[in-house]
Structure 1
Amino acid sequence: MEPLESDLPVRGKTPKQQLSKGMEHMRFAVTVLPSPPTTPAPPQSTTGTDPMLDPSSSSQNTIYGVPQGFEPLRKPVSDSSSNAQKRTDPFQFGSRYLEAGDDIFAYNAWDHVEIDDAYKAFIEAQTDLQRNAPVSEFDKQRFNNKPEKWWDKFYSNNQANFFKDRKWLVQEFPILGEVTKEGAGQVRILEVGAGAGNTAFPILEANRNEDLTIHACDYSKKAVEVMRAHEKYNERQMKSDVWDVAGTGEGELPPGVEKESVDIVIMIFVFSALEPRQWAQAMCNVWNVLKPGGHVLFRDYGRGDLAQVRFKKSRYLEENFYVRGDGTRVYFFEKEELEDIWRGHDAQAAASQDLPENEDVELHGESVSTSQHGENSVPLPLFEIIDLGVDRRMLVNRQRKLKMYRCWLQGLFRKPLISSPKEP
């Protein structure tokens, strides 16, 4: 993910100079009036030439603030007993609701903040602009062929200092708290797309289970080098290797990992980096390494997230799929879309889209042709969806009076106890 704005104040500059060039086109959507109104105005229409809803309009750059209709939707005031954690420490994600009368800048984040119709209209207008200025066919091939080289460049430039350690893991995925307890027994975790180890190392640091092992894999050789060079890298409980989750043939399984030998697979902001036609193979590989009853811990980008809306021209690869300025790719999901994908339906459709007749997908050690659609076709994995939710959050910068709507999707999926999936 590309970095958003720095939290450091900019001294001696006017408000107009407080945004980076990458977000200047969104000034009217992310800045807040000095005295924000508490009652939203009616949604504004995207028709005509309304400069506040036209991301291409130059007049927006003269305005510091947002239209009243862009104020976040607020919940009715509740008594303290129904929202006891709102103003207490330590803060728990998911407990801080923005209510009528609250000052937006009282805290740096608000949970479950829904965007209103005016902001939805802005998202649609911005998406239309992106579609009308896509990546060239030449660049599309350049970014989709060997995408790992772009991640190699990313980790060469950023090393281990780009992402923060994910200390929220146990709160969001309680199963990690259980398997890291003393005496929890043998547990094997496979992290896919481990990057610089910002998930694996916090788990190791909190771990009290001597029989827990983590296999942290990434398809960037440079990322693996960064993990292996980390001061907390411990080969007794952690192993790091290069592996492409969408690999085929000999690359179907990570180095040294046998089929059905993993208890938990962690996929945090990984699925979105794959081309949609790779989803089917990736799911088959995850299915193959998981034990029956094993879990997938999933978190990724939701549609309408600021990271999507901020893209301008020459970043659109295909619907909801973009290339960042550093050459890495990202897809933005809907909840219903992920439900279909992990139940095996949309992934199979994506795998067969625009591929040659005899293109194969590896499933349970067998080569499955995407041209098979009859009674003899082999089904893709059908994971059980234990939980899948939308995490909508509004982040604010109190010093610079900025707000950012974020949207993530988080899920817990399970491989059924039966070893082979069947179509319903």
Structure 2
Amino acid sequence: MAPDRGSETTAEAATVEAALGSLSLQESQSALAQVVDSSDPVASTPPHLSHDPATNAKRTDPFQFGQRHLSESDDVFEYNAWDHVLPDSAHYDFCESQYAAQRAAPVSDFDRDRFNEHPEKWWDLFYKQKTSTFFKDRKWLVQEFPVLQEITKKDAGSKVVLEVGAGAGNTAFPILRMNENPELRIFAVDFSKKAVETMRSAEDYTNGNGVMSAEVWDAAGDSLPPGVEEGSVDIVIMIFIFSALNPKQWQQAVTNINRILKPKGEVLFRDYGRGDLAQVRFKAGRWMEDNFYVRGDGTRVYFFEKEQLEEIWGGSFDVLNLDVDRRLIVNRQRRIKMYRCWIQGRFQKKAPGTLPE
């Protein structure tokens, strides 16, 4: 996954997107502190009833998505972020006007073809321009997906994890570092050769004692990942990767993931939801089709509805969890409100004999 970095992006939005594209509640609040004036006396405001730090830090339900609720009596600019905030009708009207303006000035036919023909080229350029230090490790993974803690325990037994769209390894490497399971195997795949080179050159990779293997693989291609056998994987991780595919590629990607997984194997999923700040701010020349855009760096991104993902994955998978993670991000110094929307899910491969006719 990569943040939006189009030429149309304002400095404010770029800062927020780079900091928050895939962070947890606690990390996003911490990152936002870098955006807000640290000398602001409000920054030291003590917690009140709508913010219980103890509860925030000790969620028992990974799909609870935080406890900082915004009530009518709260000052919206008192904190950097609020959870479960549904935008009001005025904001939805604003979004629809933005979408109409985007559709009225779409990507040219020439650009649409070149961005879709060889998408890996644009990701190669992206990773070539960014160093591995640019990317932030996803330390929130175990909080959101506790199964990762289970499979890395010393006595967990033989387990295989495949991360699709591994990028610079900011999901795979944290798993590798916390691993105590001598029988764990991690496959980190990406269709960008440059991304795979970045992972292979990392110190964690060379010191990983063969636990991790980084390979080039197109999730919507016709073959399985190098070294991965059909029906051999326990966990597939897809964090902000499905949105990088053309909608025409979704079914093939789901079919490939289904082939790779063992019966009852799981997909851990997180991606962009419709109406996210990153979608609303797109300007002219970025719209390719409804909810599907090209960023300024040539990479693509789609914004999903929850019901849409249920339909896409529900045919050959049981949807164990699927929820919308909404947050209102606030820049208190500039009095700006920014709505974020992500969708997080767990899909389990159906056992033989339970697939629909």
Length-normalised TM-score, structure 2: 0.83
Q: Which residue is 1:406 aligned to? A: 340
Deviation at 1:279, TM superposition (A): 0.6
CA contact (8 A) 2:292 2:302 kept: yes
Q: Is 1:239 aligned with 2:180? A: no
CA–CA separation in structure 1 for the residues paired with 2:330 and 2:5: 12
CA contact (8 A) 1:86 1:97 kept: no
Q: Which residue is 2:172 aligned to? A: 200
Q: Which has the higher helix share?
A: 2
Deviations 1:230-274 (A, max 9, x none): 1111252111000000011xxx20001100000000001111100
Deviations 1:49-101 (A, max 9, x none): xxxxxxxxxxxxxxxxxxxxxxxxxxxxxx94xx6734777476422111232
Q: Which residue is 2:276 aligned to? A: 305
Moved more, 398-407 or 149-158: 398-407
Report how many residues are paired. 315
Q: Which residue is 1:30 aligned to? A: none
CA–CA separation in structure 1 for the residues paired with 2:226 and 2:209: 14
Name stretches of at least 5 consecutive residues in structure 2 with no aligned partner: 14-47, 60-64
Q: How does 1:11-410 map to 2 (within 5 A)?
A: 22-23=9-10, 80=49, 85-86=52-53, 90=57, 93-233=65-205, 234-248=208-222, 252-344=223-315, 382-410=316-344
SS at match of 2:188: strand
CA–CA separation in structure 2 for the residues paired with 1:87 and 1:387: 24
CA–CA separation in structure 1 for the residues paired with 2:256 and 2:353: 14
Q: Is 1:422 aligned with 2:356? A: yes
Deviation at 1:340, TM superposition (A): 0.6
Moved more, 281-290 or 203-212: 203-212
CA contact (8 A) 2:56 2:66 kept: no
CA–CA separation in structure 2 for the residues paired with 1:102 and 1:295: 40
CA contact (8 A) 2:4 2:295 kept: no
After superposition, the Cα gap between the structure-2 partners of 1:87 and 1:417, relative to the gap in structure 1 and judged at 3 Å, is: closer
Larger Rg, first or second structure (1 or 2): 1
CA contact (8 A) 2:8 2:282 kept: no
Length-normalised TM-score, structure 1: 0.70
SS at match of 1:387: strand
CA–CA separation in structure 1 for the residues paired with 2:185 and 2:254: 22
CA–CA separation in structure 1 for the residues paired with 2:160 and 2:179: 13
In structure 1, give the amino acid aligned to 2:320: I
Name stretches of at least 5 consecutive residues in structure 1 with no aligned partner: 6-19, 27-78, 345-381
Deviation at 1:165, TM superposition (A): 1.0
In structure 2, give the amino acid aligned to 1:189: V
After superposition, the Cα gap between the structure-2 partners of 1:137 and 1:147, relative to the gap in structure 1 and judged at 3 Å, is: same
CA contact (8 A) 1:95 1:111 kept: yes
CA–CA separation in structure 2 for the residues paired with 1:161 and 1:399: 29
CA–CA separation in structure 2 for the residues paired with 1:3 and 1:137: 22
SS at match of 2:310: helix
SS at match of 1:22: coil
CA contact (8 A) 1:85 1:95 kept: yes
In structure 2, give the amino acid aligned to 1:324: R
In structure 1, give the amino acid aligned to 2:226: P
In structure 1, give the amino acid aligned to 2:350: P
Deviations 1:254-311 (A, max 9, x none): 0011000000000011111000010111011100000001000000000000000000
Deviations 1:363-399 (A, max 9, x none): xxxxxxxxxxxxxxxxxxx211111000001122334
CA–CA separation in structure 2 for the residues paired with 1:175 and 1:419: 25
CA–CA separation in structure 2 for the residues paired with 1:113 and 1:328: 29
After superposition, the Cα gap between the structure-2 partners of 1:228 and 1:235, relative to the gap in structure 1 and judged at 3 Å, is: farther
SS at match of 1:407: strand
Deviation at 1:22, TM superposition (A): 2.2
SS at match of 1:106: coil
Identity of paired residues, percent? Answer: 60
After superposition, the Cα gap between the structure-2 partners of 1:215 and 1:420, relative to the gap in structure 1 and judged at 3 Å, is: farther
CA RMSD of aligned residues (A): 2.3
CA–CA separation in structure 2 for the residues paired with 1:385 and 1:154: 33
Deviation at 1:319, TM superposition (A): 0.9
Q: Which residue is 1:75 aligned to? A: none
Deviations 1:307-348 (A, max 9, x none): 00000000001111000000000000000111011123xxxx
After superposition, the Cα gap between the structure-2 partners of 1:97 and 1:86, relative to the gap in structure 1 and judged at 3 Å, is: farther
CA contact (8 A) 1:394 1:403 kept: yes
Highest RCO, 1 vs 2 (Cα 8 Å, sep ≥ 6) = 2
SS at match of 2:204: coil
